[in-house]
Chains A and B, each alone.
Chain A
Amino acid sequence: MSEGLRDGLRKRIEKVRTLPSSPAVLKPLLELLRLEPEQINLKKVVELVSYDKTIAAQCLRIANSPLYGRARGTESIQAAIMTLGIQRVEDILLTCCLHKFSSGAKWATEPEVYWRHSLGCAAVCRELAERIDFRDPDKAYLAGLLHDLGILVNSLAYPIEYKDVVAQAREHGVPLAEEEMKDLGFTHAESGSILAATWQLPPAITEVIAFHHDVERAPADNPLVALVHIGDLLCRYRGLGYGYEEWRSVELATDPAWEQLTKYGPRLASMDLARFTMDLDAFLPKVQQLVESVFSTKVEHSTVEISR
């Protein structure tokens, strides 16, 4: 990407950042959740979540969705957080914040598609991480959730141009990043990493955003990049992609990411990948339900009890 383009993009991202729907809760929340687990003050988390009624309601809906399962029937924020555990709460809150952040804006792509892909990738990454004994499945979820932040950026910063990019990619069945490179001169990986830096997301996550389409350039000590790369591909080939089919074939076993990941996921080498792929189809309806719950606009006051 040329310097001029980059500067232009950066300016537009600044504009995106100051949109009224910018998530005020995000920064303190991330800071709070980044503490060691035993130092996290549950009351404070509940307080922050309850600060915003829409977010609180959405948090409950997501906690009660089949993808999270465990907290079925939970009606209070406190109970939801207790049941799910802090790490899950972080995922859910980020989902809510991102949604809130983006809901007031004009989208170049259908927001539902973006969310289906992001939430689907998050779920698939965590599932993959668990199956291969990757040490940190919850980080995998978060990385999967945020990996395509740049699509959001492009969508908000270049609403008109990006609409064309998406339409072209869809028409020709090519990967989105490829079309972006061709039409814009940069990909969502680059624009996403600029926003990630602005938001001061953890370095490991920022690297996932920046390199998930270019694993070989990623820092060697961050296996999350390879994991998300694989999870992302599986999603795109299994109905949880960018809303269209990419007419390509991929062989994961010869992908550089696969080899990198085997060092961190001891069970990957002996995994039944075909069977795992079939299992992923079960995520489709669950993710769909979750997306619908995120997009459900009405706040169910009767079921939302804000703990104090």
Chain B
Amino acid sequence: MAGEVLNATLSAKPAPAAKEREEAIDPVYLRIRDLVYQTCGIYHSDEKLYLLVAACKRRMTSGGVKATSAKEYLDALTSIAYKEAERRALLNEITIGETCLFRSMPQINALKNVLLPEMATERAKIGLKKLKVWSAGCSTGEEPYTLAMFLMEQQEALLKGWTFEIQATDLNDRSVETAKEGVYGDYAIRNTPDLYKRKYFVVGDGGKLKVKDEVKAKITFQRLNLNDDSRMLFMKGMDLIFCCNVLIYFDMTSKKRVVQHFFSNLMPNGCFFLGHAESLFQVNDQFRLVHLPGTTVYRKPDAGKASKP
């Protein structure tokens, strides 16, 4: 079963390479870490700090910025003349290569084992067997396709007789066009369980895998600017919203506004998923922070019910 594969992935042991990573990190990077957290809300714990260091170093050697040490690079990130551009460039480095199908297994496992069963029970009472999902900032389609395939798989078990629809939006219209194609190489499908590869893809040109039309049919792709208030108002009635590593590019004011839209667009008890290092701290305090194995999710309170202790 697919579930077995999913669980096996989750219980993998921590990488033994931790020892090497610990060696001599310039303390200035701790200040860069705080700066990154303040500006975009993405946080590198000690364990992940090496990723930030690598991203900074890539920026320093790319020729795009004049800096030969962490200190000089911090200066570049704080100088009035360059900071906007350089911060954005650094964020791009941080999120580079992040995208692939089945990237966040803890989120998928939490859905499968906790959130969907809970929703299924609740919904069975009112006979509403429909799920609305929004992948906000879908990039080149990896996230919405993952969700579509996963939910199709669930339709054979837990969600028997259910329907679902996925809205996938991105600001970048080139990304949206690529997403609609649904063609992926080895790198993008490196985490995809074999069962899914067999069931939901056809082999295309050059051995690349192409998402089957039946999967595409579940998803509506469109360009959408999260800052466009009038469009945001029309994304109502969502059960699940995914917005991973997107808000990091927003300043605090617009972040607050966008998240408020997500909050309004969610159904009571609906779930809001962020990237694994992101938090809504000081962005929005209406959501409830809920812990699940290996991940956290923000949930909209059910106004009709007192929260259970």
Chain A contact residues, CB within 8 Å of chain B:
66, 173, 233-234, 237-239, 244-256, 272-275, 277-282, 284-286, 288-289
Contact = CB atoms under 8 A, between A and B. Distances in A.
B289 A247 contact: no
A224 to B, nearest CB: 20
A274 B289 contact: yes
Given A247-B113, A251-B307, A288-B14, A275 B291 contact: no
Contacts of B46: 279, 282
Contact of B47 (A173, A237, A284): A284
B62 to A, nearest CB: 28
Contacts of A253: 288-289
Contacts of A285: 14-16, 18, 47
Given A248-B114, A288-B14, A234 B307 contact: no
B213 to A, nearest CB: 33
Contacts of A279: 45-46
Interface stretch (B68-76, B180-188, B274-282): B274-282
Q: Which 8 pairs across A and B sit closest by C-beta, in order of nearness?
A: A274-B279, A285-B18, A282-B47, A247-B113, A245-B293, A282-B46, A272-B281, A237-B291
Instruction: Indicate the member of B14, B289, B309 with the most A CB atoms within 10 Å.
Output: B14
B81 interface: no
A272 B290 contact: no
A255 B309 contact: yes
Contacts of A288: 13-14
A137 B61 CA distance: 43
B138 to A, nearest CB: 23
A247 B114 contact: yes
A275 B115 CA distance: 22
Nearest to B44: A278
B11 interface: yes
A173 B291 contact: no
A272 B45 contact: no
Given A247-B114, A272-B281, A277 B296 contact: yes
B10 A245 contact: yes
Nearest to B277: A278
Given A254-B309, A275-B279, A285-B15, A239 B114 contact: no
A246 B16 CA distance: 25
B289 A275 contact: no
Interface of B: 7, 10-11, 13-16, 18-19, 22, 37, 43, 45-48, 109-110, 113-115, 118, 276-282, 288-294, 296-297, 299, 307-309
A273 B289 contact: yes
B115 A249 contact: yes
A278 B43 contact: yes
A254 B308 CA distance: 7
A234 B291 contact: yes
B45 to A, nearest CB: 5
Contact of A250 (B16, B277, B280, B290): B290
A113 B46 CA distance: 23
A259 B288 CA distance: 15
Contacts of B278: 274
Contacts of B48: 281-282
A238 B14 CA distance: 12
A253 B298 CA distance: 12
Given A251-B307, A281-B47, A272 B292 contact: no
A285 B48 CA distance: 12
A291 to B, nearest CB: 11
B294 A233 contact: no
Contacts of B292: 237, 248-249
A246 B296 contact: no
Contact of B280 (A239, A247, A274): A274
A249 B114 CA distance: 7
A248 B297 CA distance: 12
Contact of B289 (A251, A284, A286): A251
A272 B291 contact: no
Contacts of B10: 245
B299 to A, nearest CB: 8
A161 B307 CA distance: 37
Nearest to B306: A254
B169 to A, nearest CB: 24
B22 A66 contact: yes
